[in-house]
Amino acid sequence: MSDIAAIMQLAPVIPVLTVEHVADAQPLAEALVAGGLRALEITLRTPAALDVIRAMKDVEGAVVGAGTILAPKHLDAAFQAGARFIVSPGLTERIAEEAGVAGVPLLPGVATATEVMRGLDLGLTHFKFFPAEQAGGASMLKAFAGPFAAARFCPTGGVSPGNAETYLALPNVLCVGGSWIATPELIAAGAWTEITARARAAAALR
Active site residues: 41, 128
Cross-sheet strand order for the sheet of 39-43: 152-155, 126-129, 106-110, 86-88, 63-67, 39-43, 13-17, 176-178
Taking the complex as a whole, how short is the minimal distance between the CB of residue 47 and ligand 3PG, in angstroms?
A: 17
Taking the complex as a whole, how short is the minimal distance between the CB of residue 192 and ligand 3PG, in angstroms?
A: 20
Site membership for ligand 3PG, residue 159 (CB under 6 A): yes
Q: Which of 32, 157, 164, 168 binds ligand 3PG (CB under 6 A)?
A: 157
What track of x and - describes contact with ligand 3PG for positions 164 through 193 (by CB under 6 A)?
Answer: --------------xxx-------------
Q: Which of 72, 136, 158, 190 binds ligand 3PG (CB under 6 A)?
A: 158
Taking the complex as a whole, how short is the minimal distance between the CB of residue 26 and ligand 3PG, in angstroms?
A: 22
- Which C-beta is closer to ligand 3PG: that of 16 or that of 174? 16
Taking the complex as a whole, how short is the minimal distance between the CB of residue 149 and ligand 3PG, in angstroms?
A: 25
Question: Does 155 sit behind a cis peptide bond, omega within 30 degrees of 0 on the bond before it?
Answer: no
With CB under 6 A as the contact rule, which of the stretches 3-11, 21-29, 52-60, 154-162 interacts with ligand 3PG? Answer: 154-162
d(CA 50, CA 29): 14
Residues binding ligand 3PG: what is the number (CB under 6 A)? Answer: 9
> Which candidate, 205, 149, 190, 204, places its Cα nearest to that of 30?
190
3-state secondary structure of 14: strand
DSSP state of 137: H
> Which candidate, 92, 160, 172, 183, places its Cα nearest to that of 129?
172
Under a CB-based contact definition with an 8 Å cutoff, are residues 182 and 43 in contact? no
Which residues sit at the interface with ligand 3PG, rule CB under 6 A? 16, 130, 156-159, 178-180
